[in-house]
Amino acid sequence: MSVNRSDIENIARLARLSLKEDEVAGYVETLGNILAMVGQLDRADTAGVDPMAHPLAGQTQRLRPDEVTETDRHALYQENAPRVEGGYYIVPRVIE
Amino acid sequence: MSAAPLHARTLAELAAGLAAREFSSVELTRHLLARLETAQPQLNAMVSITAETALAAAAQADGAIAAGKAGPLTGLPIVHKDIFCTQGVRTTCGSRMLENFVSPYDATVVAKLKAAGTVMLGKSNMDEFAMGSSNETSHFGPVRNPWDTTLVPGGSSGGSAAAVCARLVPAATATDTGGSIRQPAALTGTTGLKPTYGRVSRYGMIAFASSLDQAGVLAASAEDCALLLTAMAGFDPRDSTSVDVPVPDYAAALGASAKGLRIGVVKEFFDTGLDADNERQLRAALAVYASLGATIEEVSLPNVGLSVPTYYVVAPAECSSNLARFDGVRFGHRCEKPKDLLDLYQRSRGEGFGAEVKRRIMTGTYVLSAGYYDAYYLKAQRVRQLISADFARAFERVDVLMGPTTPTPAFALGAKTADPVTMYLNDIYTIGANLAGLPALSVPCGFVRDLPVGLQIVGPHFSEAKLLAAAHALQRETDWHRQIPRLWL
């Protein structure tokens, strides 16, 4: 499986990553190599085999009583935010 | 009483020294902080050294010891891999993205080890977001191997491994998604354990691939790994993948004899690519087990050869999803002067992530994208089932599996950075245990061309006590784990 420049640009757009020119060229080559290596999976006969999403079979999500367990610490958490005003995260204008 | 210098002693020996008032935790902490500072320009093992808080914690530990309130780990210095959140201390995950992130809370592992009285000396360097096998992808520069500073220490827990190897600290926390504890343990001559998936809480451990990630330990001996794991393991309601299984006293279980232990030697791990000298050391270690009364038979894992391609679909897919949270809005790096929201996302992520992290996000985005999901992601999950079933079948016949941890000893910095696939193949023997969620450890088993190599031991789910006892049995018969690089004696 090979990938070309427009594939890489499309993937980068989906992944919300800006890439420099030289990065695009590098990823054309390295992603192509990775996908070729991953192509070995075609060798395996997986007819009738269930996909395995989780390594411990039979694990289920637990339920807990519907009680408040976490306190409001938004001011503390927002100390790491690049830009905050009045408790809100500030981003460029979305709606004109 | 041991006359060895403080830094050359194990956690167990240091605990005895503290209890006997041979030295204080403050003295021990000062001694190791000085070593960490001295070693930093040569090894770059640390991202942060937290001298002030360390000395305060050591003084508090000395108070507890004086008051007769000490536990088995009180006053013992450790470092945490910089993937674990530490309240009030910078937590970078080796990335520019989190260069200035100060965690508002402690990871459960950090909180538990703090409550047990350990003294954190700092945060260790690592591959960016734990994505790497050589510790060369860190934003803070590569870590160097204390055995030879032109070589890599392995990764992604390379800082933890180098710090223990050079005896800058007796033990360290680490994480393992595809071999990131065991591979650096092998390449530095340290002992490293990846527990069963779900055995140790991942709350506050920055996520890479959530169906594979697990927290563990790197130390100078299996006994020390057992001491730390006993304090770290256990159910945590804050981690939905944490498993509610009782935690045994792993240190108390170390005495189990290797007599009658049924060892399966993984045939496929000796077939291709294994360095011949490395194989000789492994065979010698197996002979030690045979002399202790263990039985040894060859076992086949027919699908394990597909571990690397399976992993390089599953792990990037999960990472592309997990790392979507780094959006330049709530925390982490934000680009200058974004012209709109899309520009903010794209440039913040493009600048904040390094080359390998971006490569994996893109690989994951590709295999999950419309039209490719079935061919790549679903196919990989089916092969994962086959690999997991191979292990389950093997454990019907044997108690543990043994084989190499890595194909070769440590390689040169820069030797494998040009081609990611070459780098990925380093993890050929370690990834299987992650795919199947099994506990696995690496224990030093000799030297090849003056560099350490490791024996890997894999067991069924929740068999950590058995793995640690098996490693301890080898360490009672050999002194490979006691070897320290000459520069760091």
Whether residue A55 and residue B345 make contact (CB cut-off 8 A), yes or no, is no
CA distance B91 to B87: 9
Q: Kindly report, residue by residue over B215-260, the tens digit of the pLDDT.
A: 999 999 999 999 999 999 999 999 999 999 999 999 999 999 999 9
CB contact under 8 A, B420 and A16: no
Q: Does the annotation count B180 as an active-site position?
A: yes
Indicate whether A95 belongs to any domain: no
pLDDT (tens digit per residue) in A47-75: 999 999 889 887 888 888 999 988 999 99
**CATH code, domain with A22:** 1.10.20.60
Q: Measure A48 CA to nearest chain B CA, in Å.
A: 9
Long-range contact list for A57-64, CB < 8 A, 24+ apart?
A59/B198, A59/B241, A59/B243, A61/B240, A62/B237, A62/B240, A64/B237
User: Which distant-in-sequence residues (6+ apart) come within 8 Å of B77 by Cβ?
Assistant: B25, B28, B29, B32, B54, B58, B118, B119, B120, B121, B169, B170
Probe site for chain A from B361, B383, B390 (most A CB atoms < 10 A): B383
Mean pLDDT of B199-209: 98
What's the domain count of chain A?
1
Q: Is the pLDDT of residue B125 over 70?
A: yes
Q: Do A49 and B378 touch (CB under 8 A)?
A: no
Find which of B236, B342, B365, B374 to mutate to test the A interface (most A CBs within 10 Å of its CB): B365
Q: Select which of B24, B48, B81, B416 is catalytic.
A: B81
Q: For position B1, what pLDDT does the model report?
A: 47
Determine whether the interchain pair B345/A83 forms a contact, defined as Cβ–Cβ distance below 8 Å: no
Q: Is A24 part of a structural domain of the chain?
A: yes
For the ranges A24-38, A56-70, B343-357, the lowest mean pLDDT is seen at A56-70
Average model confidence (pLDDT) across chain B: 97
**Distance between CA atoms of B158 and B81, rounded to whole angstroms?**
9
pTM of the model: 0.97
Q: Is residue A55 part of a domain?
A: no
Of A44, A52, A83, the CB nearest to B306: A44
Full set of structural domains in chain B with CATH: 6-264+397-488 (3.90.1300.10)
What's the ipTM? 0.96
Beta carbons of B92 and B140 less than 8 angstroms apart = yes
Q: Is residue A23 domain-resident? A: yes
Is A38 contained in some domain?
Answer: yes
- Beta-carbon separation of B211 and A55 below 8 A: yes
Please check whether residue A11 lies inside any domain of the structure: yes
For B357, name the nearest residue in chain A, comparing CA atoms only.
A17
Task: Report which DSSP code applies to B378.
Answer: I
Calculate mean pLDDT across residues B85-94. Answer: 98
Asked whether residue A61 is domain-assigned, the answer is no
Q: What is the gyration radius of the CA atoms in chain A, in angstroms?
A: 23
* Angle between the N-to-C axes of helices B276-291 and B464-477, in degrees from 0 to 180, rounded to the nearest 10: 100
pLDDT value at residue A94 = 85
Contacts of B110 (CB under 8 A, 6+ apart): B80, B84, B85, B86, B87, B120, B173, B204
At residue A72, the pLDDT reads 93
Mutation target among B382, B419, B426, B438 for the A interface, most CBs of A within 10 A: B382
- Distance between CA B138 and CA A52 in Å, rounded? 31
Inside any domain, residue A69: no
> Which residue in the block uniquely carries the two structure tokens 């496929």?
B268
Q: Which two tokens stand for residue B67?
A: 């008051």
Tell me how far the alpha carbon of residue A1 is from its chain's centroid.
Answer: 22
Percent of chain B scoring above 70 in pLDDT: 100
Of chain A residues 47-66, which have a CB less than 8 A from chain B?
Answer: 49-56, 59, 61-62, 64
pLDDT beyond 50 at B210: yes
Q: Which domain holds residue A36?
A: 1-43
Set of chain B residues whose Cβ sits within 8 Å of the Cβ of A41 = 306, 309-310, 313, 376, 379-380, 383
Digit-coded pLDDT (tens) for B261-295: 999 999 999 987 899 999 999 999 999 999 999 99
What residues in A contact B376, CB-CB < 8 Å?
A: 38, 41
